[in-house]
Amino acid sequence: MARAPAAHATRPPHLLAAMTGTGQTISQLRVPDKTNEITCLVALLEPYDLADVTVTADALHTQREHSRFLMEDKGPTTCSDQGQPARTVLKLR
């Protein structure tokens, strides 16, 4: 079976979404090509008041910049990685 040349193949967009605890999507953005979700989390959550909110994310988001953003810029916010109890996932010091 013949395949189309790679230049003609289209990949579906990689989306990063913010959802409520009930599964309702409240925001999403496209992750630019040649990057990953790490570079997009702050832009996704920036518009929201996250004080006294629990943010749950994949473990790849346990980055110092993300912790600073959530605890200092948006705080007080509780962070957890998926499947773990709510806690601050990365100490700032």
- The pLDDT-based confidence of 82 (bands split at 50, 70, 90) is low
Taking the CA atoms of the chain, what radius of gyration do you get in angstroms? 16
The answer as to whether 41 is a domain residue is yes
Query: What mean pLDDT comes out for the span 68-88?
Result: 63
Query: ω into residue 76 within 30 of 0, thus cis?
Result: yes
The answer as to whether 90 is a domain residue is no
Structure token pair of residue 37: 């979700």
The answer as to whether 52 is a domain residue is yes
Structure token pair of residue 39: 């570079």
The answer as to whether 30 is a domain residue is yes
**What is the reported pLDDT for 38?**
92
Q: Which range of residues forms the domain containing residue 73?
A: 13-81
The answer as to whether 26 is a domain residue is yes
What does the pLDDT look like over 26-63, one tens digit per residue? 999 999 999 999 999 999 999 988 877 878 888 888 88
